[in-house]
């Protein structure tokens, strides 16, 4: 018999406080949207906005604030300095959003500034990478596409897995592909294109009564929006590592949602005709609660260690995972399941292939 933190007869009324949960989620999403509006959108890192990254190694140890003073006088936009590697490595990462000057000029300016302002230490430039603005824009568009297609394929899988409606799900995917192609001909920015595609996805899930898929997709969008909003409030940059974190969050949240949905479907099939669907959902959440807490707790433990000990380079990546795991666990219980209740699931749950 497996370890159980929660007693088998636990009966917490999760569905009963769903309105409070919706209000909490709404406030977090609203705060994030306000922050994004004030800041003019996400704060893009060099991967997406373009710029340069320079890795510098010092001969002697020094504080990062002292290293920053050594770069005083450099007129480089968006200059950011952070430590790199272990404490004994004496390595620093210098970022600037400019891509208008050559890499050799950047190298010379950094070398001269450090030699002039910090005379009791020596420095070696070990790596210099440049990302042009067009490459950054292309990477940003591809990242948004990756996130959208991940959500779309998840909607198709959930529809077939839980409602046995693979044909309907395939039709939805084909229609969405056509919508994306048609809207792209209008020359819209990729951000707006993905927003339109997401809205169409939700509408089609509702219209085709793919309720399991609808609950899962809304929960995934909820998780991503809250994570992005918190990053905007904290003034964190978005780069390829954060996109990787968001895709990881989508996968983690989906896994948690599938566990709950699977138990809901089983209990719905085994229930009597007079059983209340809200009671079935509540019972299912309580039955999977021990597994949910164990999975989230062990994953959080690893990510906390990564956040504390992993160094500054993956600090934001670990932070995104921390937020996403908490929000993803929350959404499986308080977002995906209540939406399933709101739109209902027919009994038996084995729907006829359309």
Domain boundary among 79, 105, 131: 131
Structural domain includes residue 159: yes
Structural domain includes residue 10: no
Structurally, the chain folds into a number of domains equal to 2
Best CA proximity match to 18, nearest among 331, 259, 346, 343: 331
CATH number of residue 77's parent domain: 3.30.70.100
Q: Same domain for 247 and 328?
A: yes
- pLDDT tens for 238-286 read 888 898 999 999 989 898 899 999 999 888 888 776 668 889 999 999 9
Q: Could you tell me if residue 44 is left (phi over 0), alpha (psi between -120 and 50 degrees) or otherwise beta? A: beta
Q: Same domain for 185 and 304?
A: yes
Structural domain includes residue 226: yes
**Per-residue pLDDT band at 348 (split at 50, 70, 90):** very low
Mean pLDDT of all residues in 307-333:
89
Structural domain includes residue 40: yes
Q: Indicate the average pLDDT of the chain.
A: 84
Q: Same domain for 32 and 88?
A: no
Q: Same domain for 28 and 55?
A: no
Domain boundary among 131, 164, 182: 131
Which residue do the tokens 């666990």 mark? Answer: 329
Q: How far apart are CA 82 and CA 67, in angstroms?
A: 9
Other beta carbons within 10 angstroms of residue 45's beta carbon come to: 24
Q: Same domain for 286 and 325?
A: yes
3-state secondary structure (DSSP) of residue 237: strand
Q: Same domain for 123 and 188?
A: no
Q: How far apart are CA 154 and CA 276, in angstroms?
A: 28
Most confident of the following: 22-36, 72-86, 228-242, 294-308: 22-36
Q: Same domain for 175 and 237?
A: yes
Range in 31-45, 173-187, 326-340 with the lowest mean pLDDT: 173-187
Strands (E), the chain: 43-44, 51-58, 80-84, 91-96, 123-131, 237-238
Predicted pLDDT at 3: 55
Q: Name the residue range of residue 146's domain.
A: 15-44+135-343
The residue with greater pLDDT, 347 or 179, is 179
Domain boundary among 110, 131, 152: 131
Q: Same domain for 173 and 122?
A: no
Structural domain includes residue 290: yes
Predicted pLDDT at 108: 85
What percent of the chain lies above the pLDDT cut of 70?
A: 91
Q: Same domain for 289 and 320?
A: yes
- pLDDT tens for 97-152 read 776 777 788 888 888 888 888 888 888 888 888 877 677 778 888 888 888 888 88
């Amino acid at each position: 018999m497996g370890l159980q933190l929660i007693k088998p007869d636990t009966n917490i009324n999760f569905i009963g406080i769903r309105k409070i949960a919706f209000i909490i989620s709404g406030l977090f999403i609203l705060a994030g949207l306000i922050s994004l509006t004030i800041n003019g959108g996400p704060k893009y890192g060099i991967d997406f906005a373009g710029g340069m990254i320079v890795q510098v190694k010092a001969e002697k140890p020094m504080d990062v604030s002292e290293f920053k003073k050594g770069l005083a006088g450099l007129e480089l936009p968006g200059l950011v300095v952070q430590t790199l590697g272990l404490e004994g490595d004496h390595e620093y990462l210098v970022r600037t959003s400019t891509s208008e000057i050559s890499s050799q000029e950047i190298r010379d300016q950094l070398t001269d500034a450090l030699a002039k302002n910090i005379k009791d230490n020596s420095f070696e430039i070990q790596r210099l990478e440049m990302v042009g603005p067009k490459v950054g824009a292309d990477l940003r568009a591809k990242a948004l596409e990756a996130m959208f297609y991940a959500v779309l394929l998840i909607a198709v899988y959930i529809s077939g897995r839980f409602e046995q409606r693979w044909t309907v799900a395939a039709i939805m995917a084909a229609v969405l592909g056509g919508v994306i192609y048609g809207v792209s001909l209008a020359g819209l920015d990729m951000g707006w294109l993905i927003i339109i595609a997401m809205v169409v996805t939700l509408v089609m899930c509702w219209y085709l009564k793919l309720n399991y898929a609808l609950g899962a997709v809304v929960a995934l969008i909820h998780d991503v929006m809250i994570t992005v909003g918190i990053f905007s409030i904290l003034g964190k940059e978005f780069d390829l590592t954060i996109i990787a974190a968001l895709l990881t969050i989508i996968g983690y949240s989906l896994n948690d949602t599938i566990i709950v949905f699977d138990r809901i479907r089983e209990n719905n099939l085994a229930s009597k005709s007079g059983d209340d669907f809200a009671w079935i959902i509540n019972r299912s959440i309580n039955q999977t609660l021990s597994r949910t807490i164990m999975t989230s707790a062990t994953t959080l433990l690893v990510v906390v260690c990564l956040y504390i000990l992993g160094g500054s380079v993956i600090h934001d990546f670990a932070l995104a995972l921390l937020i996403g795991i908490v929000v993803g666990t929350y959404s499986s219980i308080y977002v995906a399941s209540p939406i399933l209740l709101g739109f209902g699931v027919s009994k038996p749950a084995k729907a006829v292939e359309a």
